[in-house]
Amino acid sequence: MRHILNIKLKIDKILPGLLITILIAITAKFLSNNYNVPAMLMAILIGMSLNFLSDEKRFTYGINYSSKNILYFGIVLLGSRISLDTILIIDLDTILIVTLGVIFTIFFSIILLKILKFPLSFGILIGGAIAICGASAAIAISSVLPKNENTNQRLTFVVLGVTIISTVCMIFYPLISNFLKFNDQISGIFFGATIHDVAQVIGAGFMISETTGEFATLVKLYRVSLLLPLVLIISFCSYKLNLINKSDQKITVIPYFIVFFVIFGLINSLGYFPKKINEIFNALSIWFILIAISAVGTKTKFQNLKLIGFMPFLLMILVTLFLMIFIIAFL
């Protein structure tokens, strides 16, 4: 009886804040579907405009639950989007170019931000978001990086920045492709290997032709699959650094949700998820991540975001240009 009472009390604590983040996510999705604007961007902006709610005691617990636990559920289900079948379809040269592009972009971001005295974790967050799959990658990477008082602000900044830049890329990269006289297949590889978010890759690809759209989607899905090893590496390195620095912060070698993320990725790769189940998991993953990013938005104040400054946004543009030039050089 006491156990049931404790569960009820916990639900009562979670529900008000959780409902707020769900409503923000639904509003963001409505705006995205009807006005063709990125849902992640809308969720962050609406959340930030309601940041006063995170200071209200009755909402705090639920908002924190959304930004952490709901996020973990979303990351686990994100594993169902990863499939090794994609690697078998793409030729070896493309796999090599895309993989090297991801690796060098992350290192370029780390070095660039380190030169300008930004923390290592911020360089990894920006580099990983740009190199892999935009906002989704930023959220997954942030979940395994060491936490501090700037974590939410930096994640919000990167999600906002990468979504804006990705939308600009969707508009201008087809023009660059046309200027460089790329054929449909090469254009698809170019978009899939360089544009940050999946939706914008598809948008740019099918803007050219159906063939370009299909190639762009395949290459992009391969890039998304690289999120799995990257998150594992970052998680392990965070744990090692934590031990070396003798930090009081509790970090496990591989968090439980990353273990399930890997398991879901392997199950999907082996083809054990029926198509209908896979579609449900994909949809739930999108909704959970949207709810989580809504919560992160409500925990972010505009004045704190201003403290980060314009320089990191400029650096995100430079890292994006680096990835674009690197890929073009090998096409």
Q: Are 138 and 128 in contact (CB under 8 A)?
A: yes
For residue 3, the model assigns a pLDDT of 67
CA dist., res. 240 & res. 9, Å (int): 38
| pLDDT score at 324 | 97
Give the rounded percent of residues in the chain with a pLDDT score beyond 70: 91
Given a cut of 80, whether residue 240 has pLDDT beyond it is: no
Choose among 220, 211, 120: nearest CA to 170: 220
3-class SS at 245? coil
H/E segment holding residue 311: helix 311-330
Question: What average pLDDT does the chain have?
Answer: 86
Q: 9 lies in a domain?
A: no
Predicted local confidence at residue 2, as pLDDT:
64
Q: Is 29 among the domain residues? A: no
Residue 289 lies in a domain: yes
Quick check: is 36 in a domain?
no
Buried b (16+ CB within 10 A) or exposed e, 183-203: ebebbbbbbbbbbbbbbbbbb
pLDDT given for residue 198 in this prediction: 81
Residue 19 — very low, low, confident or very high, per pLDDT cuts 50/70/90? Answer: very high
Instruction: Specify the number of domains making up the chain.
Output: 1
pLDDT of residue 102: 97
**pLDDT value of position 25:** 95
Is residue 37 pLDDT above 70, yes or no?
yes
| Cα 296 → chain centroid | 13
- Residue 144 above 60 pLDDT? yes
- DSSP class of residue 22 equals H
Q: Which of 3-17, 37-51, 209-223 has the lowest mean pLDDT?
A: 3-17
pLDDT(83) > 80: no
326 has a pLDDT exceeding 70: yes
Alpha-carbon separation of residue 42 from 36, 183, 254, 312 (angstroms): 11, 35, 31, 21
Percent with pLDDT over 90 in the chain: 37
What is the extent of the structural domain holding 306? 56-330
For residue 235, is it within any domain? Answer: yes
CA 319, 324, 325 angle in degrees (round to 5)? 100
Is the overall model pTM greater than 0.75, yes or no? yes
The pLDDT score that the predictor gives to residue 255 is: 67
Mean pLDDT to the nearest integer, 152-172: 89
Q: State residue 243's pLDDT score.
A: 44
Q: Quick check: is 60 in a domain?
A: yes
Higher pLDDT, 242 or 320: 320
Q: What is the mean pLDDT of residues 48-65?
A: 89
Indicate whether 117 belongs to any domain: yes
Tell me the per-residue pLDDT of 39-52, one tens digit each, with 9 for 90 and over. Answer: 888 888 899 899 88
Binned at pLDDT 50, 70 and 90, residue 131 comes out as very high
The residues near 26 (Cβ < 8 Å, ≥ 6 apart) are: none
51 within domain boundaries: no
> For residue range 259-270, what is the model confidence (pLDDT) as tens digits?
888 888 888 888
Q: What pLDDT, on the 0 to 100 scale, is given for residue 305? A: 67
Q: Give the separation between CA 245 and CA 211, rounded to whole angstroms.
A: 51
